[in-house]
Structure 1
Amino acid sequence: MNDSGQLSRLYRQVKMMLGVGRVTASSDAGSAQTVQYQTPLEVRGNTPRMAEFGFSSALPVGSDVVIGFLGGDRSSAVIIASNHQAYRHTGLVAGETVIYSQWGQFIKLTEAGIIIEANNQPVTVNNANEVTINATDSVLMKTPILKVTGDIIDHCESNSATLKTLREAYNSHKHPVKNVQGGSATITSELPGSGVK
């Protein structure tokens, strides 16, 4: 093959190294996530999708993908980038980062703070032996009801009594009533009219 032919072959390989497709199906079951994509030229399945370690997402059908063809060989493809036009989180300013889903939930890191949007879905933290919140000013919970399955201890660094212990002590305490009768008799009052529950 002469130089002209080699250059022509190299040009074709370079030209074929990248492509754009649209996801029609995906599987997250194996050691690498695989995607089926469609381009104007073909539909190809079992194409591995590369992502950064520590982060994974399952692409919705209809996602756009950038496809790399190793050595320009279209039978050796790998997904290297993705986007979904309908679900893309917009409006970020320079320096902001967001993790988001197609259901409207997101975690957004901004210059002013961190925003967690659950979009009316439950938030669960599992299997933590201890959870610590360090706040310099305060912690505010805007909720109609706060439920705790165990005991609550305030001023925990200097106090060991739980709110349950304090409530039981209040509900069972009595006051002596002095000198309500002639003589020196001491009368003990009834329990509080309304106990703390």
Structure 2
Amino acid sequence: MNLKNLLSRGTVVLVNAAAKMQGMQVRLLAGEVKDGMEHFEPYGFTSNPLGGAEVLAAFFGGDRSHGVIICAGDRRFRLQNTKPGEVALYTDEGDKIHFKRDRVIEIETMTLKVKATTAVEFDTPEIRTTGKIVSQGDQVAAGISQVNHGHGQVQAGNGVSGQSVAL
């Protein structure tokens, strides 16, 4: 067994993201090209690395005939200057989900889409926005529909002159 053949650095050439276990073509040191290397990813996380991303390849027993990718990273786009204990997901386009200190989660993107088949719940004392809120559906507050409630039952208040205003 040749220990120097156990691990190798390289770069991504192509990715097959359609397979159950993602396959990669990689260019290892000294120009060695390996096809169909399986990319082992942590449960619940997946990515499709861009060409040129860096990989760490492992070859069991030093046998170069069938290796696996144990890590793929891309220093070109990695979120930098995180504080100890912070975690982040990021893309080459600048999107990020950053779990910051003091229990703050920062999401940065152009459009955030949430799809829920039952409901989206906010259990918070306050919701703030710097822009407008747009809705194509009904809005219900305190059990009163914005679309389906009538104003015929509303009691008029005092007008500017102090007299009752008729509706």
TM range (shorter): 0.7 to 0.9
- Residues 17 and 162 of structure 1: CA distance in aligned 2, closer, same or farther (over 3 Å): same
For residues 136-155 of structure 1, what are the structure 2 equivalents within 5 Å? Answer: 137-143=125-131, 145-155=132-142
1:72-103 residue CA offsets vs partner (Å, 9 max, x unmatched) = 11111100012112111111110000011111
- Higher Cα Rg: structure 1 or 2? 1
In the alignment, which of 145, 151, 167 is matched to residue 169 of structure 1?
A: 151
Cα distance in structure 1, aligned partners of 2:129 and 2:31: 55
58-67 vs 125-134, which deviates more? 125-134
In the alignment, which of 43, 48, 55 is matched to residue 58 of structure 1?
A: 48
Segments of structure 1 that go 5 or more residues without pairing to the other structure are: 1-9, 176-188, 192-197
Cα distance in structure 2, aligned partners of 1:32 and 1:104: 27
Higher relative contact order (CA 8 A, sep 6+): 2
Cα distance in structure 2, aligned partners of 1:173 and 1:131: 31
Deviation at 1:174, TM superposition (A): 9.0
Segments of structure 2 that go 5 or more residues without pairing to the other structure are: 157-164
Residue type of the alignment partner of 1:47: M
Give secondary structure in 2 for the equivalent of 1:164.
coil
Deviation at 1:41, TM superposition (A): 4.0
User: Does 1:18 pair with 2:7?
Assistant: yes
State the identity %: 24
For residues 76-95 of structure 1, what are the structure 2 equivalents within 5 Å? Answer: 76-95=66-85
TM-score by length of 2: 0.85
Give secondary structure in 2 for the equivalent of 1:81.
strand
Report the count of equivalent residues: 157
For residues 95-114 of structure 1, what are the structure 2 equivalents within 5 Å? Answer: 95-112=85-102, 113-114=104-105
Asked if 1 retains the 8 angstrom alpha-carbon contact of 2:83 and 2:101, the reply is no
In the alignment, which of 23, 43, 49 is matched to residue 34 of structure 1?
A: 23
Give secondary structure in 1 for the equivalent of 2:8.
strand
Partner of 2:159: none
Cα distance in structure 2, aligned partners of 1:98 and 1:115: 9
Deviation at 1:165, TM superposition (A): 3.9
- For the aligned residue pairs, the C-alpha RMSD in angstroms reads 2.0
User: Does 1:123 pair with 2:106?
Assistant: no
Cα distance in structure 2, aligned partners of 1:116 and 1:93: 17
Cα distance in structure 2, aligned partners of 1:78 and 1:150: 50
In the alignment, which of 45, 70, 84 is matched to residue 35 of structure 2?
A: 45
Structure with the higher fraction of residues in strand conformation: 2
